[in-house]
Amino acid sequence: MSPGELRASISLASIFGLRLLGMFVILPIFALWAQGRPGWDLQLVGIAMGSYGLTQALLQIPFGRLSDRYGRKPMIYLGLALLAAGSLVCAGASSPWAMILGRVIQGAGAVSGVAIAMAADLTRDSQRTKAMAIIGSTIGVAFAVSFVAAPGLEHALGLSGIFAITAALAIGAMAVTRWALPDAPPRRAPEKVAIWQVLRQPELLRLNVGIFALHAVLMAVFIVVPVALVNAGLPARHHWWIYLGAMAAGFVLMVPAVAGRAAQRERRVFLAAIALVGIAIAILVFGLASLAAVAAAMVIFFTGFNVLEAKLPALVSRAAPAAARGTATGVYSSVQFLGTFVGAAAGGTIAQHAGFVPVLAACFAIVAVWLAVAWNMGQRVPAASSAARG
C-alpha cells in the first residue's frame, strides 16, 4: 500500500472503530439492564436495540447517493453529528419510548456505506482488500473491546454514562475525519446509474442477503446469550471474560482463513464461515444451560462472524459499478441495518412470547437459507475479489 492508501485506511478504520465502539457496547448489557425496570420487557428491549438499525436501513441509500453527488466527507460529518445527538437523547432517557427515540436518531447517522465507498475511492483495486481488512479488523477490535468493557462501564457509569461516552466518541470520529482522513481525489460529474440497476445485480443481491442474515442473527443471539449466561450461573460482571476469550480465539482462528487468495479457496472459506455460524447456533440450542457450551458456541460464532464481516464489504465494493459505488454500498449497509432491526425486534418478540430456543431455531433457519443462497457464488465472487482477504 502507498502511504496515502495506508493513511486513508487507518483513518477510516478509526472512524468506524470510534463510532461502532459506542454502538456495540450496549449489546451485552442492555437486556440485563432492562430486566425489572418499570415499563420494560424483552419485546421493548428488542425494539430499542433494533430501532437504530431501522433508521440506518432507511437512510443508508440516501446518504450513499448524496455522497456520490456532493462528496463523502460532508455526509460523514452529518451522520456523526446525528449519532452524537441521538446518544445524548438516550443518555437522558427516562422511559422506554424516550430511549427508542434516541436510538432512532442515532441510527439516522447512516454513514457506513459512505465510508466503505470512500475507502474504495482512496485505494487502488489491487490494495482495496487490504484497506477493507484494516477496517474489518478495527471493527472486530471495537467489538471485542466494547464487550469486555461493557459490564465494568455499566457498573461504574450506568447506561446513561455509556451513551454520553458514545456521543464523545462520535465527536472524536468527526475530528479524525477533519484532520486525518485524506480528501477523495477529484471526481468527474457523476454518471447517472439508476438504483434499480444496482438492486438487480445478482452478485450484489447475493451479498446483500448475506449481510442481512449475519446481522439479524447477531442481534437475535445477543437477546439470548447475556441472559443465558446469568441463568447458567455466571454473574453479569464476569461476562467480559467469556466475550474476551471468544473474540480472541475467533481472531486467532480467523487468520488462516483470510490468508489465501485462490478463487476456489475463497469460496470454500466463505461457505465454511457461514457454516460455523450455524454450528454455533446449534450448540446454543442444545446447550443454553451449560456455561461451557455457551462459551464454546461463542468462540465458533465469532470465528465465522469475523471472517464474514471482513469479506463482505470488500466483495461489495468490487462488484459495484464505479459510478454508483456509494449507492451500492448504501444499499448494502441499508440491508445490513434492516437485518439489525429485524433480528433485534423479532428476537425480542419471540423471546418474550415463546422463549429462547425458538429465537435460536429461527436464527438457524436464517443461516441455512443464507448458505443455500451463497452456495453458487462460484464464478462471480472470486472474479470480483481476486485480491480478497480469503
The pLDDT assigned to 388 comes to: 34
Angle at 105 between CA 345 and CA 226, to 5 degrees: 40
| Pick from 338, 354, 232: nearest CA to 291 | 232
Structural domains present in the chain: 3-181+195-384 (1.20.1250.20)
pLDDT at 389 over 70: no
Q: What is the pLDDT of residue 27?
A: 83
The H-or-E segment that residue 190 falls in is none
Supply the pLDDT for residue 258.
60
pLDDT of 390 higher than 80? no
What torsion do the CA atoms of 196, 202, 205, 209 make, to the nearest 10 degrees?
160
pLDDT at 23: 76
Calculate Rg over the CA atoms of the chain: 20
Contact status, residue 146 vs residue 21, Cβ threshold 8 Å: yes
Percentage of residues of the chain with pLDDT beyond 70: 89
In angstroms, rounded to a whole number, what is the distance separating the alpha carbons of residues 120 and 282?
A: 37
Question: Which of 118-122, 201-205, 269-273 has the least mean pLDDT?
Answer: 201-205
Q: What percent of the chain has pLDDT over 90?
A: 37
Lowest mean pLDDT among 147-151, 226-230, 260-264: 260-264
Average pLDDT, the chain: 84
Give residue 83's pLDDT: 95
**pLDDT surpasses 90 at 382:** no
Whole-model pTM?
0.77
In the three-class reduction of DSSP (H, G, I as helix; E, B as strand; rest coil), residue 15 is classed as helix
Q: Which cell numbers hold the place of 259?
A: 490468508
Could you report the per-residue pLDDT of 200-233, keeping only the tens digit for each? 777 888 889 999 999 999 999 988 998 888 888 8
CA–CA gap between residue 311 and residue 301 (Å, rounded): 16
Q: How far apart are CA 332 and CA 210, in angstroms?
A: 10
Residue 160 has pLDDT above 90, yes or no: yes
C-alpha cell at 363: 436464527
Q: Which of 26-40, 165-179, 251-265, 319-333 shows the highest mean pLDDT?
A: 165-179
Would you give the DSSP letter of residue 24? Answer: H
Inter-axis angle of helices 128-179 and 3-24, nearest 10: 80
Q: For residue 139, is pLDDT > 70?
A: yes
